[in-house]
Amino acid sequence: MNVLLSHVDLMPLLYGFIMFLGLMVMLIKLLKGNWSSLFIDIVVFWLVFSLHGGTLSGGFAAMICALLAGLFFPLLIRKLTTS
């Protein structure tokens, strides 16, 4: 008998954590009024999710991509507009 339970998949746990993190960041942006950053999150998620055909792996890729884009694109836009 395998006591380590090697058949347990931790991917749903990671998927749920990334989903929670993305929703938390979007809620904070909504409450603080960071509309441009929130708009970037939503558009990037929709674009990547639709490009992947609505699959589970596509949703995971879309969540990670939207999270990263929502963090880095506003900084990049701010840096380009102030220079």
Q: Does the pLDDT of residue 61 top 60, yes or no?
A: yes
Please answer whether residues 40 and 70 qualify as being in contact, where contact means their C-beta atoms are separated by less than 8 angstroms: yes
pLDDT tens, position by position, 8-51: 777 778 888 888 998 999 999 999 999 988 998 999 999 999 99
Return d(Cα 47, Cα 40) in angstroms, integer: 10
Q: Which of 69, 21, 17 is nearest to 45 (CA)?
A: 69
Tokens representing residue 6 in the block = 């090697």
Q: Is the dihedral of CA 78, 35, 30, 53 positive or negative?
A: negative
